[in-house]
Structure 1
Amino acid sequence: MKLIPTSLEDCFIVEPVVYKDNRGEFFESYNKRILEKALGTSLSFVQDNHSVSHKGVLRGLHFQIGSKAQAKLVRVLKGEVLDVVVDLRKKSPTFKQVFKTVLSDKKNQMLFIPAGMAHGFLSLSDDTVFLYKCDEYYDREAESGIIFNDPDLNLNWGLPSSEIILSEKDRKLPRLKDLKL
């Protein structure tokens, strides 16, 4: 497993070693010992989330606050997404900075997102299957988010807003400047 640093502190692309032969391919999608050694920290994932999305569905930007903040290891099992992360850690040198990458079932890459960052993704294909491991349980009381088209973040999702499909909850998310971090 190889960690590739992103522009955000402590956020990494995780690239597994893929073994290919005439039968197909094999790789470890998660190995706690190897990932912890590479990250230099201990992890205890307690919940896996699995979503299926149509092309144009945008989920995010989500995060949990306080002691319920979640680190995540995300990957695409089928299809392709534009994955977006915003650093919300006040003491981080990359505070309020954004990282974007395309994750797909073809590249087999994952993204490690430390606690204290907002995360969202836009499905670029139909029936995209997305999996994320979380190190903290979902807690409705700690749930928060940032509206996808926050002008201060100036995110380019690659689709016109009219083609983006949002949940009712995600339509009502606040701007970053209105959050108490």
Structure 2
Amino acid sequence: MSTRGSYRPLDIDGVHLFEPVIHGDARGSFHEWFKADAFAEALGHPLIPEQANMSVSAAGVLRGLHYADVPPGQAKLVCCPAGRVADVVVDLRRGSPTFLEHLVVELDDVDRRVLYLPVGVGHGFAARAEGSVVCYLTSAAWDPAAEHAVSMADPALGLDLPALLEGREPILSDKDRAAPALAEVRESLPDYADCRAAEAELRDLWAAANGEAGR
């Protein structure tokens, strides 16, 4: 088994789960949660972070569902270094074979799994423990004019909010509480072909850089 962990694809195209190898001893533990060459080898293109974000949430906090315009889009590499969250991914890419399908992946400070979300998918999470910390690297800086949301309570998304929150009352920001229903934004959602084109451009740049480096 590799000492650096492994990425595996999930059921929504482009979404990957990274399961690190954790080295523990009497002091605690150590692991690598992102390594550029391992990421590029597994996904076929690099992740070049432009921003690193961190949120701290009380138990019951519900954040999302957020997405960004494509191009440029905003890919995310998400982990939970403290606490426990139900991380939610919804395929919002019009034309995708998995359009509107969703995944729920628990991220926590025990397994320390990491979730990669490609451009165009929607992201949110429910905090299941007090003081849950979520950190993520993003491929583009935050641009408020390009950021949008869909209500996670919209039945069209098929999310079981009581299960996500483990029976807690949801705590939302004013912005997330006022997020529109899917039907209101459906025609302006990211196009799957545009999302794939953005990823293809990254692959081509990476392949060209590797070719030049190998000469």
TM-score (normalised: structure 2):
0.80
Number of the residue aligned with 1:137: 141
Number of the residue aligned with 1:5: 9
Determine if contact 1:68/1:137 at 8 Å carries over to the other structure. no
Task: Pick one of 161, 176, 179 that aligns with 2:182.
Answer: 176
Larger radius of gyration: 2
| 2:12 is equivalent to residue 17 of structure 1 | no
Task: Pick one of 25, 29, 35 that aligns with 2:33.
Answer: 29
> Runs of 4 or more off by more than 4 Å in structure 1?
none
Task: Pick one of 102, 122, 127 that aligns with 1:98.
Answer: 102
Task: Pick one of 78, 85, 88 that aligns with 1:84.
Answer: 88
- Measure how far apart 1:133 and its partner are: 0.6
Counterpart residue type for residue 168 of structure 1: D
- Measure how far apart 1:127 and its partner are: 0.6
Q: Name the SS for the 1:96 alignment partner.
A: coil
Shift of the 160–147 alpha-carbon distance from structure 1 to 2, 3 Å rule, reads farther
Determine if contact 1:68/1:139 at 8 Å carries over to the other structure. no
Instruction: For 1:150 and 1:99, locate their aligned partners in 2 and report how far apart those are by CA, in whole Å.
Output: 16
Shift of the 62–132 alpha-carbon distance from structure 1 to 2, 3 Å rule, reads same
- Structure 2 residue runs without a partner (length 5+): 190-215
Instruction: For 2:27 and 2:131, locate their aligned partners in 1 and report how far apart those are by CA, in whole Å.
Output: 25
- Structure 1 residue runs without a partner (length 5+): none
Instruction: For 1:66 and 1:3, locate their aligned partners in 2 and report how far apart those are by CA, in whole Å.
Output: 25
Counterpart residue type for residue 48 of structure 1: A
Instruction: For 1:60 and 1:161, locate their aligned partners in 2 and report how far apart those are by CA, in whole Å.
Output: 18
Shift of the 160–168 alpha-carbon distance from structure 1 to 2, 3 Å rule, reads farther
- Measure how far apart 1:160 and its partner are: 7.9
Counterpart residue type for residue 20 of structure 1: G
Counterpart residue type for residue 182 of structure 2: L
- After superposition, what is the alpha-carbon deviation per residue over 1:128-179, rounded to whole angstroms, capped at 9, x for unaligned? 1110110001001001011011111120131488700000000111111211
- Measure how far apart 1:20 and its partner are: 2.3
Counterpart residue type for residue 100 of structure 2: K
Q: Report how many aligned residue pairs link the two structures.
A: 181
Number of the residue aligned with 2:205: none
Q: Name the SS for the 1:67 alignment partner.
A: coil
Instruction: For 2:37 and 2:166, locate their aligned partners in 1 and report how far apart those are by CA, in whole Å.
Output: 42
Q: Name the SS for the 1:36 alignment partner.
A: helix
Bigger drift between 8-17 and 161-170 goes to 161-170
Q: Name the SS for the 1:83 alignment partner.
A: strand
Identify, as 1 or 2, the structure richer in helix. 2
- Measure how far apart 1:9 and its partner are: 0.8
Paired residues for 1:28-177 under 5 Å: 28-157=32-161, 158=163, 159=165, 163-177=169-183
- Measure how far apart 1:29 and its partner are: 1.2
Q: Name the SS for the 1:63 alignment partner.
A: strand
Instruction: For 1:4 and 1:176, locate their aligned partners in 2 and report how far apart those are by CA, in whole Å.
Output: 29
